[in-house]
Structure 1
Amino acid sequence: MPLFHTLSPHDRVLVFAPHPDDEALGCGGLIQHAVALGAQVRVVFQTSGDNNPWPQRYVEQRWVIDEDCRRRWGARRRLEAVRSVETLGLQAEAAVFFGLPDQGLTRLWQEKDEQALALHVAELQTFRPTLLVVPSEDDNHPDHVGSHALIHEAMKCAGMNLPEWAYLIHRRWFCPEASGLTLQLTLAQKARKLAAIECHETQLFLSSSRFCSYARDQEVFIPSNPS
């Protein structure tokens, strides 16, 4: 089912990214497509990606990463995220940062953390999305699974039941042709997606080939409709 048949200029698309870079890797083409249609798009970065020690050790040539180091790294990654969303066609104001603990989203969901849920509920109620773009619950990364669960818990708290498209980055077994909505990227969209990925410079020092490989011809999303 082609993705472009399901989006409209009247949509309000709320993208959730557990870390800076997930917006470009998972749905950089979709964001461009929604912007081109005239839909409203906002990107919520649930964490700042500050608990990211190996790239930081490599870049800063230090072994011990303390709290000040993590804050500095998180600030750098937030700047990269803003450049990425601007590259994809959004204004800087379209990027929202929750500042939740990196590597802690599953724990926050399990504990039903009131502050984390309140941030998500407020965003849902303020932006009033018609479509959510979220990490897949089948992702291998615990923050992506926790992100998905937090979003669903927040929808329950807000009394909302919204359609969503899930993107899968850290893959378990998955056959997109069997169950996915496919967006075919143009050459220009693919190039812009690659440019957005390259905005995340901190992540390219150790993983450039892997990250840039996400600038593929297609993006696949797993749809879920409200019951």
Structure 2
Amino acid sequence: MRVADFLPAADHLPLADLPTLAGDGGLVVVAPHPDDESLGCGGLIAEARRLGRAVRLVVVSDGCGSHTHSQSHPPERLRALREAETLRAVALLGLAPGDVRFLRLPDAHVPSAGPEAEAAARAVAEAARDCAASAVFVTWRHDPHCDHQASAAIVRLARPLLGAARVYEYPVWGWTLPPDTEVGPAPQGYRLDVSAHQSAKRAAVYAHASQTTDLIQDDPTGFRLESAMIDRLCGPFERFVTV
């Protein structure tokens, strides 16, 4: 199926409440970079916490690839900033610092296989055990970013360690793919109504100030989320494709 057909189909997946989507246990969200958790799953996290569900967030990369030419924010300072932004963001969604684990794999070079990927897969499985997870959420394997694809591969490595937990993928950058890109069969899965959490989700996204504002001013090549992208992902529904 072409992505031009797949994503509109994902926009019309059946609506489900959280128990139908994720079962009765905790949830694990796997984010390739600091901010993907808010963009792709901010409403999911907020709804799970509203219902008293345990949620664990695993952030895979160190986020240091967003401003590689900044003198004011060399890698260690940028990593610390992005981790602090993540903690501020997820606090708005109901998570505590102890619910978050940063794996600090290299941004733009997250491995899909080998010892580091296997260690990351074990970390995902540990997070799932810690919250008695009945569902795990990771970025879509066809997202056009190598770290998003690698994170999906890491969850595939973790699959034998996850027991009966369901696995879903959430698209973040899929809308930027060329329309004729082939992405496999038609989507199956669910949409979650997150309209009650839209304002909290948007606030969480903007808590990642290094990615949404001119906070870092000395890198003209630095990454910045476009407002249209934020609007696209901060609508009333989140989409989760069954793996």
Q: Which structure is higher in RCO with an 8 Å CA cutoff and minimum separation 6?
A: 2
Secondary structure of 1:133's aligned partner: strand
The 5-angstrom pairing of residues 208-223 of structure 1 reads 208-213=226-231, 214-223=233-242
Q: Is 1:163 matched up with 2:163? A: no
Q: What CA deviation, in whole Å up to 9, does each residue of 1:175-207 have, x standing for no partner? A: xx9634111222x41111100001000001233
For residue 83 of structure 1, report the CA deviation from its aligned partner.
Answer: 0.6
2:210 alignment partner in structure 1: 202
Query: Equivalent residues in 2 for 1:21-36 (5 A)?
Result: 21-36=35-50
Partner of 2:138: 134
Letter in 1 for 2:210: T
Shift of 1:139: 1.0
Residue 76, structure 1, aligned to residue 81, structure 2: yes
In the alignment, which residue of structure 2 is the partner of 1:153? 157
Q: 1:14 to 1:159 in 2, by over 3 A?
A: closer
CA distance in 2 between partners of 1:118 and 1:179 (Å) = 27
CA distance in 2, matches of 1:27, 1:141: 17
Query: Which stretch of structure 1 is more off in the superposition, 194-203 or 31-40?
Result: 31-40
What is the DSSP-based 3-state SS (H/G/I as helix, E as strand, rest coil) of the residue aligned with 1:154?
Answer: helix
SS in 2 for 1:6: helix
CA distance in 2, matches of 1:74, 1:211: 23
Which amino acid counterpart does residue 51 of structure 2 have in structure 1? L
Higher-helix-fraction structure: 1
Segments of structure 1 that go 5 or more residues without pairing to the other structure are none
Secondary structure of the residue aligned to 2:133 is: coil
AA at the equivalent of 2:53: A
Aligned pairs, how many?
210
Question: Structure 2: where are the runs of 5+ without partners?
Answer: 1-13, 214-223
Cα RMSD for the two superposed structures = 2.6
SS in 1 for 2:238: strand
TM-score under structure 2 length normalisation: 0.76
Contact 2:56 / 2:128 at 8 angstroms: preserved in 1? Answer: no
Structure 2 counterpart of 1:103, from 103, 108, 111: 108
| CA distance in structure 2 between the aligned counterparts of 1:210 and 1:111, rounded to whole angstroms | 37
| TM-score in terms of structure 1 length | 0.81
Residue 2 of structure 1, CA deviation: 1.9
Task: Tell me the percent identity.
Answer: 28
Conserved in 2, the CA contact under 8 Å of 1:103 and 1:143?
yes
Shift of the 181–8 alpha-carbon distance from structure 1 to 2, 3 Å rule, reads: closer
Change (3 A) 1:132 1:9: closer
Decide whether the 8 Å contact of 2:191 with 2:237 is kept in 1. Answer: yes
Answer yes or no: is the 8 Å Cα contact 2:170–2:239 preserved in 1: yes
Equivalent-residue separation in structure 1 for 2:192 and 2:124 (angstroms) = 27
The reply on whether 1:43 has 2:57 as its aligned counterpart is yes
**Separation in 2, partners of 1:87, 1:189:** 10
Aligned equivalents of 2:64, 2:115: Cα separation in 1: 22
8 Å contact kept, 2:125–2:162: no
Cα gap change, 1:36 to 1:142, in 2 (>3 Å): same
Residues 197 and 211 in structure 1, CA contact (< 8 A), matched pair in contact too = no
Distance of aligned partners of 1:88 and 1:159 in 2 relative to their CA distance in 1, 3 Å threshold:
closer
Supply the distance in 1 between the matched residues of 2:56 and 2:121 (Cα, whole angstroms).
Answer: 18
